[in-house]
Amino acid sequence: MAEHRLPDALTAELGRLGARRAAAACFAPVEPTMQLVAEARQRAGMLGLHPALMVVAGQPVILDESSCTQPDPFRHKRHMELEVLQPSYANSPALVALNLDQGGPAAALSPGKDGQAVEVLFWDGSSAVPQDQVLQVCQGRLFIPMAAGEHGVVAIHSWGEAGAWGNHVVVCHLQRDARLDLGVFAHLGHQTTLAILAELEEGAVLNMWSMGRLMGLHRTHAVILLHGAGAQYTWRGAVGVMEQDDSACRLQVRHLAPATRSMVRVRTLAAQRGRLAFQGHVAIAQTAGGSEALVKSDGLLLDQGAWLESRPEFFIETDDVQCAHGATVGCLDREALFYLRSRGLGERAARRGLLHAQLQDVRDGMTQTLEPMAQRMTDQLVEAVLNP
């Protein structure tokens, strides 16, 4: 398996940010040994997950044959939106090395059985990494094809040990009138680069929720193509950074057909010296008359050294649209904190209450099967920022 040498600039950047074992000179994918797979299974159990599919060190480990197929479902998608590979967005010192065309195993998933969520675990263990190969890159590649009229629920969990670097791609293809509810949960202890590419045909609906701490140099990059008339996309996110995390989320939504709709609402939290940039970029083509789009981002700075940036952007090529965007960044309301404390709640409990209140609306409209996972992730996120 080929090694990939980190660019000097990135190595320097890692050092500047105090990333663990920043002196790493090289990193390489690791074979999913039996030990790694066993650890992943154990970790899934500890996290309370019941994954149908684990992607361990880049290799799919199928646990539920009825939900997953293999191999190489990407053969139709190799040339889709390769620009996702460009780390062009603001404050993005980190590597984005995704490559759909790179080959290697991948898995396809068949969601949509009785409204139950199919769970996927991207697990990046570092325990099997030799000491001189500090960072590893795991290339988990997952394809979620949705047939016409099909409805499905998928929960993607990413988890890895400190020092591991997940580098994952999820591609969704929703045919006419298909609907996918997709939860993306970043469990603590892991830094990852995650690309999500979705293509929606006529009348298709993709509802996405993402939650968790975006650890280390996390990058999320989503590209959503609303190709068919009446296609709809929503994204609600509650994501946070702390310690010396320096993370970014970039979302591109492209309205390419008439009467398409997109709605993006993101809640961001930054504690300690955490840094997080969010960019919501919506492009509405000439062919997308009658479309509607909303991008709203609300950020909470919890410490003086924390940093948030939010950039909603619209590129509109037709007149007949309804678009709105907004971004706020602020601190916890001191008067609200005092109110809760005057009712006996300690400062910590009051802060917890306000944080949960801030994140409450992220779960609006959420599929029932994702709700407990989202609740757990919200609890984890709040406790993490309260317990730096």
Which of 97, 345 has the CB closer to another protein?
A: 345
Q: Name which of 212, 213, 48, 184 is nearest 122 in CA terms.
A: 184
Nearer to another protein, 15 or 372 (CB): 372
366 burial level (CB within 10 Å; 0-12, 13-18, 19+): middle
Nearer to another protein, 200 or 385 (CB): 385
247 or 380: whose CB is closer to another protein?
380
- Minimum gap (Å) between residue 143 Cβ and another protein: 36
| Burial status of residue 311 (CB atoms within 10 A of its CB: 0-12, 13-18, 19 or more) | middle
Q: Which is nearer to another protein, 214 or 354 (CB)?
A: 354
Burial class (CB in 10 A: 0-12, 13-18, 19+), 286: exposed
In angstroms, what is the minimal distance from the CB of 339 to another protein? 4
Q: 51-56 and 26-27 as β-strands: parallel, antiparallel, unpaired?
A: unpaired
Task: Give min distance, CB of 311 to another protein, in A.
Answer: 25
Cβ(312)–Cβ(342) below 8 Å: no
* Integer Cα distance of 86 and 78 in angstroms: 16
Minimum CB distance to another protein, residue 386 (Å):
15
Name the β-bridge partners of 117.
Answer: 153
Shortest distance, CB of residue 350 to another protein, whole angstroms?
Answer: 8
Smallest separation (angstroms) from another protein to the CB of 278: 20
Task: Please name the residues in contact with 159: beta carbons below 8 A apart, sequence gap of 6 or more.
Answer: 43, 47, 121, 122, 123, 124, 187, 189, 190
Q: Which residues bind another protein (CB under 8 A)?
A: 333-336, 338-347, 349-350, 353-354, 356-361
- Indicate the residue among 57 and 359 with the shorter CB distance to another protein: 359
